Amino acid sequence: MAEVLEQEVKVKAPAEPLFSKKNRRLITDPLNDNNPITVQVLGICSALAVTVSMKNAFIMTLAVIFVITLSNLIVSLIRNAIPSRIRLIVQLVVIATLVTIVSEVLKAYAFTSYKELSVYIGLIITNCIVMGRLEAFAMGNKPWASILDGIGNGLGYGAILIIVAFFREFFGKGSLFGKQILGDWYEPNGLLVLPVSALFVVGALIWIHRAWRKNLVDIS
Amino acid sequence: MDLFNTWLNAAFVENMVLAYFFGMCSYLAVSKTLKTAVGLGLAVIFVLTVTAPINWLIENYILGETGIFGMDLTFLRFLVFIAVIASMVQLVEMITERFFPALYNSLGIFLPLITVNCAILGGSLLMLTKEYNFAHSTVYGFGAGFGFFLAIVALAAIREKLRYSNVPAPLRGLGIAFIITGLMGIAFLSLSGIKL
């Protein structure tokens, strides 16, 4: 008897739970089958340039998660008030404001990283992931789902960034987060410190990812 | 001569795409056929040549400490620059539609998309770190745009030929485009260190 009652209550509940299966998929999908970098090919510019050290990749990940989550939330809240003709400008203003906040905070609390990341912090504005998610998701979904979508895509982006940075810093300098891991016997691979090596590492990641998930293979 | 060196430096030694990875998204997405790549490349040259000097003027006469407000407003840089770029793209779109309808039709959707091309904003931000004067920043904008044009046309031409080759299935499309760009980047590395 109690069971039946419980089921009825569940059916009647109008709001879906905060972490329903659908909402969890919003976070897990971008980590794998719908990864922003290896599948959607968005936000490559910054992903390649900042991955020379784990520390910078980590800071960049945090910055992008912050910007993408908050801009998704804000645009989702005002989505019905934005005239569709000027929506790109409105989205850009929201993003640019958030990026300015990130930039000023970094300048105040992590000045060396701010100097190293230099123009790439500003380029979060034109990071296609942020624009793409606003346009494709936040403009048509409720705030909570938009937040989850933002976090998911930020994490998917950050996962690739950190993997690439791991390879480049570990084999390029023999260190992680600036700490020397490999001893003197290791001859650092200078190629991996050069910016172009990021292209090879990401290319190889795409190869591995698509060999594993056959449905992602580009048939054209 | 000095100006020409700035141009060469921006177009080849510090190529937008191959040295700084600016505009990678559209570079990879639009390089499937040669014709569209040429269209996007031309549009980027145009917009960069126009926005770089405008943003230089704004930075030096409005936002900077020596500007008309007499205080350091550089934290507003991102907002102002992106607004300038968005409105310039809109203006360019209207002008080409009115006076060069053939060019407008061939560029199509790429014109509005240039607003969110990292190469444009990146060009303006990078120009500031180099502390150029007005003439140099104009030439820098043109050179950087030309570098983007060169890179995207080269990749598109290679990808058109690539259709006839036997690439491993998981590497097809995006994966091989990354590797080719990497190889092109290594080729351009041989130009680095040239002091002009």
Indicate the domain borders of chain A: 36-166
Copy the structure tokens of residue B22.
């600016």
- Distance from the Cα of B182 to chain A's closest Cα (Å) equals 5
Residue contact B21–A49, C-beta within 8 A: yes
- Distance from the Cα of A51 to chain B's closest Cα (Å) equals 12
Query: Distance between CA atoms of B48 and B146, rounded to whole angstroms?
Result: 9
Copy the structure tokens of residue B30.
């639009």
> Shortest CA distance to B127 belongs to which of B184, B84, B87, B171?
B84
- Taking the Cβ of residue B121 and every Cβ of chain A, the question of whether any pair is shorter than 8 Å is answered with yes
Residue contact B179–A199, C-beta within 8 A: yes
Q: The complex's ipTM?
A: 0.78
The predicted model gives B35-54 an average pLDDT of: 85
Distances (CA, A) of B130 to B6, B96, B125, B134: 11, 31, 9, 12
Query: Distance between CA atoms of A8 and A2, rounded to whole angstroms?
Result: 10
What angle do helix axes B118-130 and B134-162 make, rounded to 10 degrees?
A: 140
Q: Tell me: pLDDT of A2 over 70.
A: no
Q: Tell me: pLDDT of B169 over 60.
A: yes
Distances (CA, A) of B98 to A180, B103, B110: 61, 10, 17
- Taking the Cβ of residue A105 and every Cβ of chain B, the question of whether any pair is shorter than 8 Å is answered with no
Residue scoring higher pLDDT (A39 or B122): B122
Query: Distance between CA atoms of B100 and B155, rounded to whole angstroms?
Result: 27
Query: Distance between CA atoms of B28 and B194, rounded to whole angstroms?
Result: 28
Global pTM reads 0.80
Residues with Cβ < 8 Å from A164, sequence gap 6 or more? Answer: A47, A48, A51, A57, A198, A201, A202, A205
Chain B positions touching A92 (Cβ under 8 A) are 82-83, 86, 115-116
Q: Which residue in chain B is spatially nearest to A131 when comparing CA positions?
A: B116
3-state secondary structure of A133: helix
What type of residue is A220? S
Q: Kindly compute the dihedral angle of the four CA atoms of residues B147, B149, B152, B157, in this order, to the nearest 10 degrees.
A: -120
Residue scoring higher pLDDT (B103 or A4): B103
The predicted model gives A32-53 an average pLDDT of: 75
Burial class (CB within 10 angstroms; exposed 0-12, middle 13-18, buried 19+) of B162: middle
The per-residue pLDDT for B99 is 84
Q: Cβ(A131)–Cβ(B113) under 8 Å?
A: no
HSE-CB of B17 using CA atoms within 13 angstroms? 29
HSE-CB of A89 using CA atoms within 13 angstroms? 14
The per-residue pLDDT for B146 is 92
pLDDT in tens, A157-173: 888 888 888 888 888 77
For residue A192, what is the DSSP state?
G
Q: Which residue in chain B is spatially nearest to A197 when comparing CA positions?
A: B182
Residue contact A217–B176, C-beta within 8 A: no
Residue contact B118–A126, C-beta within 8 A: yes
Q: Which residue in chain B is spatially nearest to A205 when comparing CA positions?
A: B175
